Structure 1
Amino acid sequence: MIFKGTATALITPFTSDGVDFESLDRILDDQLAGGVDAVVVLGTTGEPATMSAEEKKAVIEFSVKKLKGRLPVIVGTGANSTKAAVEMSVLAEKMGADALLLVTPYYNKATQRGLIEHFRAVADAVHTPIICYNVPGRTGVNMLPATFAELAEHENIAAIKEASGNMEQIEEAIRLSEGKAVVYSGDDGITIPVMAMGGMGVISVASNAAPRFTAEMTSAFLAGDLKKAAKMQLDMLPFVRALFSEVNPIPVKKAMQLRGLCNGLLRLPLTEMTAENAAKLEKLLPSFI
């Protein structure tokens, strides 16, 4: 298993003309201190769609070098093109990634058979474990539980990040893949419900700004303290709503700026958080850090 508990889908801090590695170093130290179980670089929250190939390579290299042997580094290598996804996955593997996170191809809107062939092509090209990433609200295609269960037969396909928001579908994915692969919540608002049904943790946006709180919540569940975990999940809901009051990662980058961990710069077409929403987030943030 790649991890149990909390993996942070990290932001990528930027300068006006590149990646802010000084801030990234601070952020990785904060994640280590917060006790998270893994980190994801170049996932949706990391804004890879607006990064150059060289910037992506540099982020992978920096993160792997800093965290090797201390924390698993999962690298987002998904692409709309199967060929591009294979190439990026092979590169990340060579650079030392502990696992690969691949979003379903977007815009092309593959059929379920197309999804199976896409992920198998990547899995055949690498030896590193793969986490499929289902987020139909962004991609326009929904990986069905039966599709994931079929993919889970491949030795290199280890998990799915399920961000459909559909609990019945997530439960079915857990049921059909049991003993073959694991399911991670892709939604901070339902982490504990997913774990209660057999999920192994969360790939979290919230744990950028609140690593200690999020890791403590999932650790409580894994230690058998469901009452504590459930209370923390409920307490967290207003914060989660604030973090998704605008398109991710706009709010979480603001939260990281408020914590002094980065300057909060975004790349177009993402724009700065509205003052009204930022004020709500700023009011909630201290309770979770």
Structure 2
Amino acid sequence: MFSGSIVALVTPMTTAGEVDNDSLQRLVDYHVSSGTAAIAAMGTTGESPTEHRRTPGRGAAGGGVCPGAHSGDRRLRLQQYPPAIRLSQAMAEMGVTAGLSVTPYYNKPSQAGLLAHYTAITDASSLPQILYNVPGRTGCDLLPDTAGRLAELDPVIGIKEASGRLDRVSELKRCCGEDFLLFSGDDHLALDFVRLGGHGVISVTANAAAADMAELFRAALAGDWTQAEAINRRLLPLHQQLFCDTNPIPVKWACAELGLINTSMPRLPLIPLDVSGQEQVREALLKAELTGRG
């Protein structure tokens, strides 16, 4: 269903904090024309904790990009309000191809709790689900053995692994099978992740470097490691500097600097990138040869 460079799409906002629909459509068109394999909207990079109201991947399907969307929530049932389940059901109705379902955060469930959580979601919705493991954000680590048990559920088709551990690739392949989709959630490790058997990346960097990331992973998946490594070396400073502050603060600034969106405004409690961070990201854009292309 998916492989290659999938963008973890930023949510463009106005200075008033509302979604900038013109910038959003321009950004989607940019990814369609750049060869991005799919759009993952409203994830961490899309500021999902404060922006769950909008349609994911708006206009993308007509352009040949398969939209996915963040469908996770730590709450399953709270006073008859089931956000994780309702999000999955709503996204299926909107024509989203798959949901990106993050592990519940803050309440730190056990592996048995994670199994019960995802089973409840898949019992309630047939939307294909890509699990999302990001322990640094959630305080919860979805282990390969648990992912393997979840892979037996029909709607569960893959995982975005953002633990920062490359040894997880072989463990996940052993537990989940060869057909289970494996995506890196760490841009700086993604090429090695694919070299070990992964299928691609769900990428922050692709917001600012869509064509380069698409070409990088086309080359990698075709076994052209020389080309893939050359592109990755050029992008490596950008992979790193896009995390000089909390994601997505730096990447939104980079997108605005490149003219891809109108403003770099995030939504509170995030605030715009400071001058020092701007200098770091600007230098990384120069090293990546992204400035001056327009």
Q: Which range, TM-score by smaller chain? A: over 0.9
Match of 2:174 in 1: 175
1:104–1:132 contact (8 Å) kept in structure 2: yes
Give the TM-score, by structure 1 length: 0.94
Deviation at 1:222, TM superposition (A): 1.3
Partner of 1:215: 214
Please tell me whether residue 70 in structure 1 is matched to residue 64 in structure 2: yes
Tell me which residue corresponds to 1:254. Answer: 253
Give the ranges of 4+ consecutive aligned residues of structure 1 lying more than 3 Å apart after TM superposition: none
Residue 17 of structure 1 deviates from its aligned partner by: 4.1
How far apart are the structure 1 equivalents of 2:234 and 2:187?
Answer: 12
Q: Shift of the alpha carbon at 1:288?
A: 4.5
How far apart are the structure 1 equivalents of 2:226 and 2:184? Answer: 19
Aligned pairs for 1:99-248 (under 5 A) are 99-248=98-247
Alignment of 1:14 with 2:8, yes or no, is no
Contact 2:7–2:206 (Cα < 8 Å) also in 1: yes
SS of aligned partner of 2:45: helix
Partner of 2:90: 91
User: For residues 43-54 of structure 1, what are the structure 2 equivalents within 5 Å?
Assistant: 43-51=43-51, 53=52
Contact 1:78 1:104 in 2 (8 A): yes
Judge conservation of contact 1:174–1:182 (CA < 8 Å) in 2. Answer: no
More helix by share: 1
Gap change, CA 1:126 and 1:69, over 3 Å in 2: farther
1:95 maps to a residue whose letter is M
Alignment deviations for residues 139-169 of structure 1 (CA, whole Å, 9 cap, x no partner): 0000001010110011110000000001112
Pairwise CA distance, 1:124: 1.7
Q: TM-score, normalised by structure 2?
A: 0.92
Residue in 2 that maps onto 1:283: 283
Amino acid at match of 1:241: Q
Aligned residues: CA RMSD = 1.4
The aligned length equals 282
Letter in 2 for 1:144: L
SS of aligned partner of 1:202: strand
Structure 2 residues without counterparts, runs of 5 or longer: 77-81
Distance in 2 (alpha carbons) for counterparts of 1:119 and 1:198? 25
Contact 2:17/2:267 (8 A) holds in 1: no
Q: Deviations over 1:213-233 (max 9, x none)?
A: 101000001122012112322
Specify the SS of the correspondent of 1:132: strand
The separation in 1 between residues aligned to 2:60 and 2:37, in whole angstroms, is: 15
Q: 1:72 offset after TM fit, Å?
A: 0.6
State the 1:64 CA deviation.
4.2
Q: CA deviation at 1:180?
A: 4.5
> What amino acid is aligned across from residue 67 of structure 2 in structure 1?
V
